[in-house]
Amino acid sequence: MDDDTIFAVSSGRPPAAIAVIRISGGGALRAAEALAGSLPPPRQAALRGLRAADGRLLDRALVLVFPGPRSATGEDLVELHCHGGKAVVAAVEAALGALAGLRPAAAGEFTRRALIHGRIDLAEAQGLADLLQAETEAQRVAALDAAEGRISALVGGWMQRITGLAAMVEATLDFADEDDVGEGRPDALDAVRASMTDVAAEIALVAAAPPVERIRDGIRVVIAGPPNAGKSTLFNRLCERDAAIVSPLAGTTRDRLEAAVQRDGIAYLLIDTAGLRANAADTVEEEGVSRARTAAATADVLIWLDDVPPPRADAVWIHGRADLPGRERMAPGRSLASSTSDPLAALRVWQAITEAAQPLLGRADDIALHQYQREACTDAGVFLTEPARDPLILAEQLRGARMTLGKIIGRSTTEAMLDALFGRFCIGK
């Protein structure tokens, strides 16, 4: 329950040099006094001995007090900066758990309380969840944008503008017989409609940018072509490890092989596929060929190793095995040549992949939205794109757009959605 006082380690799990134990809730100050005695002034660190109920010294720690509502959670919050040994942390947590009204925090509960008490909104909480799980530089930048309120500011600006437009429509409805609105100013509603269209265009532009899922899951790079075209050899060189078995026997690769790679702050998923040919040797190879065709069709970037043209115009067409007799000259239409004897071949292929992937990643200043955020933007755009002639319907369209955008920052959020979001957090965050 939200009335409970909670505690947890908010730093990395021990052993560590320092362990930060957070206590949040109405009983936080009382709990800290029970362990540390007199507390220091707010936001001033002081060294205190932490003692169990029987007086045993548990540790000497720095104590910091943050009275609510000006705290991370919006309620009284205390941090105990202890030594980070397992036994020390366990002893302090046991002493806290023995106090009446205290319990261990659930995953994400500190951040959830911050949301409930208005210290952050839903978009910022989502950004923080992404930041905790970020593995690449692109993921970090996108998550930090959200956690620092860039999405919230943008959505809030749209909602404020829509609110102003709604006020103009309401004035037209309430004072239609006045000279300064309504029938006295027939252009008033036309100005509202024009502004609605402008806001819809801005929302659509942001929603069209590459999504968080693209940055998180990575660019899908599929290597495809006939048997013995050098696909697995190139796959291994791009991965910089022996991820695939390489053999002169046709059909060695019979299923898709995947390898996650990070390069220049971007996540890629490299996929090696079975050789494409019309007459498969058996049903297993036939299934592998079918999966290879599907992978090639759905790839973000297709690397094509074959002498016949690729199935997609945007494929990176590579002249493979260029070191073999009779293949020294690259035929027209190929993007570049690759061979096992060329140490720079893999680097050139990576450069081609990067160039092909760039349009999918967008600009550095783009805002990346989650799927539910993009859906909310799309739904809001539906309300705004075709403004009605009837002022009553126009007012309803503006109300619908404002409420739909409110879902992004948590104005209308279900408990199930919050449970799913905060379940991604670690204990103590």
Contact 123, 146 (CB under 8 A): yes
Q: pLDDT tens-digit profile of 16-33?
A: 999 999 999 999 999 999
Tell whether the model's pLDDT for residue 419 goes beyond 70: no
Cα distance between residue 408 and residue 353, in whole Å: 34
Can you tell me whether residue 330 is helix, strand or coil? coil
Domain limits, the chain: 5-121, 124-209+369-409, 215-361
Instruction: Please name the amino acid found at residue 274.
Output: A
Average pLDDT over residues 326-339: 80
d(CA 257, CA 265): 23
pLDDT band at 276 (very low <50, low <70, confident <90, very high): confident
DSSP single-letter state for residue 399: H
Q: Mean pLDDT throughout 373-402?
A: 94
Structure tokens of 26?
């109405």
Kindly give, in sequence order, each residue whose CB lies less than 8 Å from that of residue 297, ignoring residues fewer than 6 positions away. Answer: 311, 312
Q: How confident is the model at residue 182 (pLDDT cuts 50, 70, 90)?
A: very low
What's the farthest any 2 CA atoms get from each other in the chain?
Answer: 90
| Mean pLDDT, the chain, whole residue set | 87
C-alpha distances in Å from residue 230, one per residue of 107, 244, 308? 47, 11, 15
Question: Strands 77-84, 102-104: parallel, antiparallel or unpaired by DSSP?
Answer: unpaired
Rounded (10°) angle between helices 137-147 and 122-133 = 160
Cα separation, 170 vs 13, in Å, equals 56
What fold characterizes domain 124-209+369-409? Four Helix Bundle (Hemerythrin (Met), subunit A) (1.20.120)
Over 60: is that where the pLDDT of 179 sits? no
148 contact partners, CB below 8 Å, separation of at least 6 = 124, 127
Structure tokens at 31: 């709990």
With 0-12 / 13-18 / 19 or more C-beta atoms within 10 angstroms meaning exposed / middle / buried, residue 253 is: buried
CB 253 within 8 A of CB 274: yes
Total number of residues shown for the chain: 429
Measured distance CA(164)–CA(172) in Å, rounded: 13
Query: For domain 215-361, is the CATH number 3.30.70.270?
Result: no
More confident of the two residues 329 and 65: 65
Residue holding tokens 């206590």?
23
Cα 286 vs. chain centroid, distance in angstroms? 37
162 or 285, higher pLDDT: 162
pLDDT band per the 50, 70, 90 thresholds, residue 184: very low
| pLDDT on residue 183 | 43
Closest by CA position to 169, among listed 196, 192, 199: 192
Which amino acid belongs to residue 297?
A
Residue 301 DSSP one-character state: E
Q: Would the CA dihedral through 142, 144, 150, 155 be positive or negative?
A: positive
| Class of domain 5-121 as given by CATH | alpha beta
Helix/strand/coil for 257:
strand
Q: What is the mean pLDDT of residues 261-290?
A: 83
